[in-house]
Structure 1
């Protein structure tokens, strides 16, 4: 198999394993983390903190690189990427995360652990994506 297939497969496997080990695929734990005025569970703060540290290191390395290792060019966002659609989608993401206790990555990873519960979320997520595509102005 070529690196064009193996690299994303390895990255996705590592990502899914990290989400599972970190507890991000457990909706009760996610809702506990989001319940800051109730029975707050701070454990996911460490998962997010680890992700922030990795990205902080990556943001320091990327400007020094001539080109990416596994792509033709870098795709770095800038302030012009803040559109009303992005802001509205982010708000919808947060509301959905709070209600379901899952977001796209952990939802897909949860299909392996609790397929019946995660399937409802994943089917709804894909239906929302399809509805957006049908009504999106391009």
Structure 2
């Protein structure tokens, strides 16, 4: 249990540091990327492109492992069809991301970097997750 906690802590710390160093915890930068008709900021595109190589390497490594390092089996979700909940959820996520300039990862990192700006988003995110869970018990 402690090993799993330490792995999660290390991964979360690395992710948060990456967000901070790349500037992706700054909502202004994210909104600048989404502002195609104004002062477009391509920084997020470079961050996304930079994530492709490490992820490709991780998938190659995962395919060669019989089991993960901290679990008895891999929990890789099957690719499913595009259904209404996925599409509606994606639209809501995109609208929220565009308005706030934050998504869950940068919002949590933002609590450490700029708590006053991130706190409202994190509270709304937790409320939304709670409402979803109360209406959809299958995800609990």
1:92 corresponds in structure 2 to 92
- Residues 65-123 of structure 1 show CA distances to partners (whole Å, capped at 9, x for unaligned) of 11111122112222336443233212211111001000000001001111111000000
Whole-Å Cα distance in 1 between the matches of residues 75 and 97 of structure 2? 26
Whole-Å Cα distance in 2 between the matches of residues 14 and 135 of structure 1? 34
Q: Secondary structure at the match of 1:80?
A: coil
Structure 2 residues not aligned, in runs of 5+: none
Q: TM-score, normalised by structure 2?
A: 0.90
Q: CA deviation at 1:48?
A: 1.0
Whole-Å Cα distance in 2 between the matches of residues 70 and 36 of structure 1? 42
- CA RMSD after TM alignment: 1.7
1:76 corresponds in structure 2 to 76
2:127 corresponds in structure 1 to 127
CA distance 1:81–1:71, change in 2 (3 Å): farther
Moved over 4 A (4+): none
2:56 corresponds in structure 1 to 56
Whole-Å Cα distance in 1 between the matches of residues 39 and 100 of structure 2? 17
Q: CA deviation at 1:7?
A: 1.1
Q: CA deviation at 1:58?
A: 1.4
CA distance 1:107–1:7, change in 2 (3 Å): same
The answer to whether residue 118 in structure 2 is matched with residue 114 in structure 1 is no
